[in-house]
Every structure is written in C-alpha cells, then in structure tokens.
Amino acid sequence: MAATKRSIEPLLWVLFSAGGVLAALLIPVLLLLFGVAFPLGWLTPPTYEHLLAVIGHPISRVVLFLLCMLSLFHFAHRFRYTLYDGLQIKHLNELINTVCYGGAIAGSIVAGYLLWQI
Amino acid sequence: MNQTDRPIYTEFHPRWYRPRTSTYWWLKRPSYLLFIGREVSSAFVAWSIVYLLLLIGAVHRGEDDYQSFLRWTSSLGVVLLNVLSLFFVVLHAATWFNLAPQAMVLRYKGKRVPETWIAGANYGAWAFLSLIVALIVLL
C-alpha cells in the first residue's frame, strides 16, 4: 500500500485556529488597557511592582507565552493566504512562507525568552 | 467534403476561458472589503503581540524602562496606531465569534443547538475573560 504524502497544512490550520481563539478572547482587553486607556489617562496604569508580580506568576507566563506564540502563527497563516489571494502573487510563495512562518517562530522565541527571564 | 463524411476528431481542446482577476478585486464589493478587512486584522493581532512583548521587555529591564515605555505609549503616533489596531482586533473577535456556530456544530438529542447560543456563549466567554484580565491588571 503506497503511503500518501502527508501535508503539514492541518497542523498549521490548528495553530491558526487556536491562535485565533486566544487572540479574539484576550487581545482586545489587553490592547484597550495598555494601548489606549493607560496612555490616554483614562485609568491609572498599574505600579511596576504589581505588573511584575502579575507577569511573573507561572500561570501568567504560560498563558502569555501561548497567547504570543499562537497569535503569531495565526497571523502568519492568515497573512500568507491574504498575500496569496489578495495580491495574487503566487510566484513569491516560498519567500512569503519563509517570512511569515519564520517571523512567527522568531517572535515565539523572543516571547519565550522574555517570559522565562522575567 | 459532404454531409455523409464522418467528422475527423483531434486531440485539440480550445483554451479554457479564465478571466484575469484584478489585483483590486476586493474593492468591488462591500462583502469583499469586509473579507479583506478580516484577513488584514491578523496583521494588527501581530502588532498587538509585538506591543505586548515590548511591554514585557520594559518590565523585565526595570522600573525606569517601564515608566519610559509608558511615556512612549502616550505619544500621538503610537496612540493612533493602537486605536486603529483596537478596531481591527475587535473586528477579528467579532467575525471569529460569528463564525463559531459554523465551525462548532453541536447536537443535543438529535436537534442542532441554535447558532445564537453558540455565538452568544463565545461572546459571553469574551466578556467574562476580559473582566477577569482587567481586574487582575488593575487591582
């Protein structure tokens, strides 16, 4: 029986899907607080000690790492197909894949390093 | 040649008709624009993650870096970018949760669970988690 060549697409789709769920649930509130509310003075930002304690908690580290890694893969997968469908630049496929997924991997490594160190 | 002659068939097939797609096809209809908006929202998701990592990096380096990061975030360009990102991130969440009933088909006693319940459950989880995160950060 000849074995069919397995595609990696299902795995990439699962990462995309999980990333989409986490990003949808967590990023809006985080961006609202740290991107808009604190900078514009609507709410007082947390003290350094409090934020350090929150981020440094083991559960936070794991959740933040998963959020970062999966959201980056969500972006990589979706953006790759947007360039493919939206701009019709199929001939640049290999370059696009390398940049998108490579960027996601690089970002995940940075996230892992920072969250380990803190 | 007359009508009683048998036709001669060849291998040739005429070229398929494939109209060229314009690079700006997505501007031609509102639904296309919404679709591309949904896809581009992923780029703003990525920016939010980069922003989050910048924050974590600043916290990692110490109190002074945290304070100067906070000052940087209130500069006009960054605020405008983040407001735009917030719009796209919320668009991502809304389009994602509205699609959830199609991705997650649940059946109870043979009948399909109504779509509004599944979407509503997702929105409920979103509201609940947002509240929890806000409380953890603020209190």
Contact A54 B42 (CB under 8 A): no
CB B117 within 8 A of CB B123: no
Q: CB distance from B130 to chain A under 8 Å?
A: yes
Q: What pLDDT digit, counting tens, does each position of A72-102 carry?
A: 999 999 998 888 766 666 778 888 889 999 9
pLDDT at position A1 is 52
- A63 has a pLDDT exceeding 80: yes
Task: Determine, for residues B82 and A39 on separate chains, whether the beta-carbon distance falls below 8 Å.
Answer: yes
What global pTM score does this model have?
Answer: 0.86
Closest chain A C-alpha to B2 CA, distance in angstroms? 50
Residue B3 lies in a domain: no
Is residue B12 situated within a structural domain?
A: no
On whether residue B20 sits in a domain, the answer given is no
The enclosing domain of B81 has a CATH number of: 1.20.1300.10
Could you tell me if residue B110 is inside a domain? yes
**Predicted confidence band of residue B1 (pLDDT cuts 50, 70, 90):** low
Give residue A49's Cα distance to chain centre: 26
Looking at the DSSP assignment, which residues form a beta bridge with residue B111? B108
Q: Residue A66's pLDDT is what?
A: 96
Instruction: Return the CATH architecture of domain A11-39+46-117.
Output: Up-down Bundle (1.20)
Spell out the residues 6+ positions from residue B98 whose beta carbon is closer than 8 angstroms to its own. B119
How many domains, in total, are found in chain B? 1
The closest alpha carbon to B118, from B90, B137, B99, belongs to B99
Please compute the mean of the pLDDT values over residues A31-50 and round it to a whole number. 94
- Residue B72 is predicted with a pLDDT of 95
Interface test with B, best of A13, A16, A34 (most B CBs within 10 A): A34
Residue B32: inside a domain, yes or no?
A: yes
B82 falls within a domain: yes
Mean pLDDT over the full length of chain A: 90
The answer to whether residue B117 sits within a structural domain is yes
Tens digits of residue pLDDT in B75-133: 999 999 999 999 999 999 999 999 988 888 888 888 888 888 899 999 999 999 999 99
- What was the pLDDT predicted at B47? 96
Q: Where are the domains positioned within chain A?
A: 11-39+46-117
**ipTM computed for the complex:** 0.90
- Domain range holding B121? 28-138
Nearby residues of A79 by Cβ (< 8 Å), 6 or more positions away: A100, B39, B42, B43, B46
What whole-number distance in Å separates Cα of residue B49 and Cα of residue A104? 11
B-chain residues near A117 (CB < 8 A): 60
Q: How much is the average pLDDT of B61-66?
A: 93
Picking from A11, A47, A36, the residue whose alpha carbon sits closest to that of residue B86 is A36
Q: How far is B105 from chain A (nearest CA, A)?
A: 16
Distance CA A38, CA B76 (A): 13
Q: Confirm whether B114 is domain-assigned.
A: yes
